[in-house]
């Protein structure tokens, strides 16, 4: 997929929309997608957190949780 070409096509399509309702929905989708993108950027932070968690477990510093506690 050529991302730049897709973006240009989306812009072209947006310029043809005359409905305020549709534009608001598109804005909502794009705003939501932007939040997702920023979450993906924090993958290195998530990786660090997982490594720290694994270290804590190997040092018997983890917290045991039963299945019953999870399904409450």
The model's pLDDT over 28-42, given as tens digits with 9 standing for 90+, comes to: 888 887 665 555 556
Q: Is residue 24's pLDDT more than 60?
A: yes
Who contacts 26 (Cβ-Cβ below 8 Å, separation ≥6)? 14, 17
Q: Is residue 57's pLDDT more than 90?
A: no
Q: What is the reported pTM?
A: 0.43
Show the domain range for 11.
3-70
Who contacts 23 (Cβ-Cβ below 8 Å, separation ≥6)? 14, 17
pLDDT in the model for residue 66: 81
Rounded distance, CA 13 to CA 8, Å? 9
Please give the average per-residue pLDDT across 39-53, as a whole number: 75
Please give the average per-residue pLDDT across 12-35, as a whole number: 87
DSSP string, 10-65: HHHHHHT---HHHHHHHHHHHHHHHHHHHHHHTHHHHHHHHHHHHHHHHTT-----
Total tally of structural domains belonging to the chain: 1
pLDDT in the model for residue 4: 92
């Amino acid at each position: 997929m050529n991302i730049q070409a897709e973006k240009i096509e989306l812009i072209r399509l947006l310029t043809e929309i005359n409905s305020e309702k549709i534009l608001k929905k598109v804005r909502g989708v794009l705003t939501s997608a932007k939040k997702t993108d920023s979450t993906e950027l924090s993958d290195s932070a998530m990786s660090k957190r997982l490594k720290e968690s694994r270290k804590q477990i190997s040092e018997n510093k983890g917290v045991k949780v039963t299945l019953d506690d999870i399904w409450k």
